[in-house]
Amino acid sequence: MGRLNLLLVWSLSLTLSLYYLHPISAQLSPNHYAKTCPNLESIVRQAVAKKFQQTFVTVPATLRLFFHDCFVQGCDASVLIASTGNNQAEKDHPDNLSLAGDGFDTVIKAKAAVDAIPQCRNKVSCADILALATRDVIALSGGPSYTVELGRFDGLVSRTSDVNGRLPQPTNNLNQLNSLFAANGLTQTDMIALSGAHTLGFSHCSKFASRIYSTPVDPTLNKQYVAQLQQMCPRNVDPRIAINMDPTTPRKFDNVYYQNLQQGKGLFTSDQILFTDPRSRNTVNSFASSSNVFNSNFVAAMTKLGRVGVKTARNGKIRTDCSVL
């Protein structure tokens, strides 16, 4: 009997330890703040819209910030933390130095708007505000609006070293991309859908220069597109120069990104490979031919992404300042 009890205790402790190692999404709910901050979504939406009116960069900057946050230690706003003398935070990793300041500012302004309401003050996590702001910028740029699950806590750590090897690179092939996304519970279809975020935003010339100045030039690139890129990004170009990821509709969230891939106009190797590799081509063609199919897959993938590494009250907190642990 004692042995049975011991086994039961061991089994229960193992179950609990697995639960806390991999917090399930059951704690997330669209109604998480229904009683504590009932007008949360409208407060965030208004703050984001105001920032959007100031600069369109708000859109790609916030979307990219959410992705970079979730892929490193989960969706816990750890990317927002500022480095200190004792700690180099995620945002100062080389892969994160190109994150536009407008993304951070969007969250800061939305957080200030939420905390200006006495009932809501210090009740809403920075991680949830970033998730809501991301949904709102997508909708503001013509993309789908969707229900955001809420209830994330903010992370307790943010280390530069945690970023190593976690984020996709412009030179990645399909196997490398699939591996990075699978590590976060995301499928190849999810990866292709989330890559559609490159319908917005911009890139510095150095990220793709090797494709247009190699000998020979990358054969998967459209020749006319190469000429345009060389004109916009001449050799020894000012490193601050950036060009649109989507040369066709750069300020609209749409499925034109996939139509560009069909024409050899994927800016990064990691973009174009989605069409040139036969294993992913059919999905690209499907998204290119139907904005509804793309949008529904994008929303599903964003929802799954938002569940990655969710922190609980046991291993997280509600930050009063999003940039301070």
Q: Is there a binding annotation on residue 78?
A: yes
**Exposure string (b/e) for 228-263, b if CB count within 10 Å is 16 or more?**
ebbeebeeeeeeeebbbbbbebbeebbbbbbbbbee
In the chain, the amino acid numbered 260 is N
Q: Is there a binding annotation on residue 238?
A: no
C-alpha span between 158 and 225 (Å, rounded): 39
Nearest of 67, 72, 69, 36 to residue 150 by alpha carbon: 36
- Which of the following is catalytic: 22, 32, 68, 93? 68
Nearest of 214, 201, 219, 232 to residue 273 by alpha carbon: 219
Q: Is residue 68 annotated as a catalytic residue, yes or no?
A: yes
Q: Is there a binding annotation on residue 72?
A: yes
Q: What is the residue whose two structure tokens read 């901050």?
A: 37
Q: Is there a binding annotation on residue 283?
A: no
List helix spans (H) across the chain.
Answer: 2-21, 40-54, 58-70, 101-115, 126-140, 174-182, 188-195, 209-212, 223-232, 256-262, 269-276, 278-289, 291-305
Tell me the β-bridge partners of 29: 150
Q: Is there a binding annotation on residue 249?
A: yes
Nearest of 255, 276, 256 to residue 211 by alpha carbon: 276
Tell me the β-bridge partners of 18: none
Q: Is there a binding annotation on residue 76?
A: yes
Nearest of 9, 38, 27 to residue 315 by alpha carbon: 27
Q: Is there a binding annotation on residue 246?
A: yes
Q: Is there a binding annotation on residue 277?
A: no
Structure token pair of residue 204: 């510095």
Tell me the β-bridge partners of 242: 204
Tell me the β-bridge partners of 203: 243
Cα-based angle 252, 70, 54 (whole degrees, multiple of 5): 40
Reduced to 3 states, what is the DSSP secondary structure of residue 164?
coil
Catalytic residues: 68
Bind-site residues: 69, 72, 74, 76, 78, 90, 168, 198-199, 246, 249, 254
Bind-site residues for substrate: 168
